[in-house]
Structure 1
């Protein structure tokens, strides 16, 4: 059985891998740099609360997924994907030039527009990249390809955030940020030029550009395919789950562990690397099969180590220091390694959970509707991520529970939802047949 890394020898895989990696990387360099600017500069200059600016930024980035995912799915089904990708990556370069102007002149309104446009760029690229894989991969390559894609996305998010932090510490940070984001966008465009041409799935469809109507129509269509509907619910639950933990990591690092910014980066790294390793192992554990057998393992691990994180944080007896702990200092804290273990294994089992679901969604989606179904997936992902924020606010601000209790409740809900999901997928698995792939060399 060939290693999944051998897929990099094929242009049909490597071109899209690097196109999507560079896109996700640039998203996070720009988003994180903007959040740092809003936090440390813009809030004081505009006399506006930091939380308001940061929440506005988060809303502007996710809003396009609600507005445009249904349209993006139609466009990706109707047109040839390599040319479409090149057009989207060219748009990314233009957006980064707009952002550069915003950074130089401190026009925050223009930076917010650029952030909305980057969200729009990502909303239109998502249905393309995930509908592309089953079109160019053989069935025995799809799990490995999705594992590599998920690994690449996890590492792109992490390294993008880290690079933003590093760039803001340099002399002339604005110049370095501009050079970096525009250069990454250009590299992404170059990578997209190597994509092989793929026949459009539904060239005869008439695109409905109404913002709400195609979304409602798409959700109704998806509900008529219960296997895919529950796969997408399971996929979106992963984003709810991950957002719940990752969003709270900086706060518990500061308030419970009393660590500085470097400790936050360490904890996020552990989660991301765990996700990457879990994703990579899916090919071997599933023996190249499009199968649900890994799903209960992923569900169980996610619940066990959420509960483990609850006990690990409650067992800490950290004394408030005069200055926040550095990585070196916090490594000597009793119980800190248990927190590290829990976060790493949460990421690990998250990777094992999500890769089979992506593979199932791609394999069982009707070819003529594949991109639109992935567009629907993006809509549900966005809804669940917003739901995660609302859920956390209710637990922490309304019910006045603490962060470890939030993680415990989330782990328990995951076990209940996971059992429900697994039963539903088994119930409907035989209602649809997998679609064959026409591999393009």
Structure 2
């Protein structure tokens, strides 16, 4: 994409994610994606209704129609995602989008003939072709966003796309069902609508700015089997990215279970008609959209993966409560939507469904953004293709497993309970494998519910590459609050004694914090800390140090020691010249986690939990970077002192 246009629009800023809809780098792409999702579902649902209610096809009974259509649509994701990822990395993305939308018009023209002629084989072929169309579009969709948006916009952009997708799915299903049901002209209406939406999508694509190829010299491997395996291995090289792929795929497994069972759940458990089944879909879609949009504000416009455990907790809690809310509903005649909504017992069911799907939005959007942010740009589309492959496998597995559970005698509420409990196990396993999710969750909770935490100057944290962060040391939770302010992982050098504190010590060990002891006490630990620090910078990560050497005992800034100079000297010996970013934590002195109480003449911490009350106001002020060659302890101390004074 034209980087000048991108930077000019970025510098102009915007108050929230909705403002992206006024910018050319996002709006045409959003509406192209919206039309794509709407047309997929309009076409598929109208086709399903037609073969279920209007045509008698001996070789495609109504009970199997939905399953066959769904399977045909997913099949191309398994066969061609790997090839699609290569094409996206190799070629300019906007050209691919426009080509895909041109092909969509041709597919929908063929589908229009299929509807008018009542030709089921033609329509089944179009289902497969639309699946192929979406397979090619998928990697382009998620690889385009990191090129068009900066880090602070990426969560909001993904949230908008996720919201738009589910709204489009909902509208497509509703439109398809309504149009095909009109007597005599229903098929004609669907035929015209499918072609019209495809044309509108192509018009929107015409205004998408160019997004240059990230790996133009790539030689495409046309063998889908070997390339699929290679993509999976490529994703596995970055464990955070790979396990995020697994986490997203689990979300699709989880969601597919509920979506596939809505018709049966509405009829057999809630005693509702088709309108009630549609209401469940509406509630679910609105929940997903709401959770997706909340991610930007809850994450302070950063990629906040601390929301992922929050979403996982909500998915399990509300999925479990849905079982209890629906298991004892009294038998009833089939009711319409008005009578269903009038029953107070059903409000809890709808609330659980809305909060469960909202939690799924909180869970998925940060994971998508993290994959986009942490994947190597030259391989990003292939990683996303690997994600699509695993997603498809998990959705197929969900159909098989749910079918087996129901065949074994489980009721639908019991299936929901089983999946909700399984979600707790899977999420816990992922968070133990990737402690960064859990640590960011703790940091997010503390910065939102224990303190009123305000960050100023967070744009001074480098978006990529190594850097050294220096900060005053006020409390035992300084590292957690600094982590809450950074979109990137931070590795801390910390006094070895802090690791002895229950709970906090365990958290810092999970965070792979580097313990340091005075040279006189433990020379080996002292040297080992600097070796670990050098490794962090060599790997291009953020390293944080508290140059005072310990937590202040009187609330005042202490003289900075020379450890930061030694770190920078080792970095320059490795050919690295990292900037040093000064930071200042404010208003933490006197809080529960700081030293203030006198006990046997010693100032200690954590003796009165509500000493300063909850939601006390604290802050982190971040200054401009200092060149490594100028970063002397005295200068850094002056910079931190100035930040403490609000300068």
Question: TM (normalized to structure 1)?
Answer: 0.95
Residue 55 (structure 1) aligns with:
67
Contact 1:312 1:338 in 2 (8 A): yes
What does residue 336 of structure 1 align with? 346
Cα distance in 1 for residues equivalent to 2:208 and 2:45: 29
- 2:421 — aligned with what? 412
Runs of 4+ residues deviating >4 angstroms? 427-434
Query: Where does residue 297 of structure 1 map in the other structure?
Result: 310
Contact 1:236 1:377 in 2 (8 A): yes
Offset, 1:423: 2.2
1:285 aligns with 2:298: yes
Is the aligned partner of 1:201 residue 2:210?
no
Contact 2:153–2:302 at 8 Å: present in 1 too? no
Structure 1 runs not aligned, ≥5 long: 435-441
Structure 2 distance, partners of 1:48, 1:95, is 22
Which of structures 1 and 2 has the bigger CA Rg? Answer: 2
Between Structure 1 and Structure 2, the one with more strand by share is 2
Mapped to 1, the partners of 2:226 and 2:312 lie a distance apart of 35
- Of structures 1 and 2, the one with the larger relative CO (CA 8 A, separation 6+) is 1
Structural mapping, 1:3-402, within 5 Å = 3-42=16-55, 44-46=56-58, 48-171=60-183, 172-319=185-332, 321=333, 324-397=334-407, 399-402=408-411
1:226 CA displacement: 1.3
Higher helix share: 1
Aligned equivalents of 2:344, 2:23: Cα separation in 1: 48
Aligned pairs, how many?
A: 429
More deviation in 400-409 or 211-220?
211-220
**1:228 Cα shift?**
1.1
Structure 1 Cα separation of the partners of residues 191 and 76 of structure 2: 24
RMSD over aligned Cα atoms: 1.5
Give the CA deviation at 1:157. Answer: 0.7
1:11 partner SS: coil
Between the aligned partners of 2:393 and 2:540, the Cα distance in structure 1 is 28
The CA distance in 2 between the partners of 1:122 and 1:433, in whole Å, is: 36
Task: Extract unaligned runs of 5+ from structure 2.
Answer: 1-13, 438-488, 491-535, 542-647
SS of the residue aligned with 1:40?
helix
Tell which deviates more after alignment, 418-427 or 89-98: 418-427
- Aligned 8 A contact 1:33 1:165 in 2: yes
Partner of 1:437: none
Match of 1:425 among 423, 427, 434: 434
- Asked whether the 8 Å contact 2:51–2:57 carries over to 1, the reply is no
Residue 334 of structure 1: how far off its partner (Å): 4.4
Q: CA deviation at 1:427?
A: 5.8
Contact 1:299 1:353 (C-alpha < 8 Å) held by counterparts: yes
SS at match of 2:181: coil
**Secondary structure of the structure 2 residue equivalent to 1:198:** coil
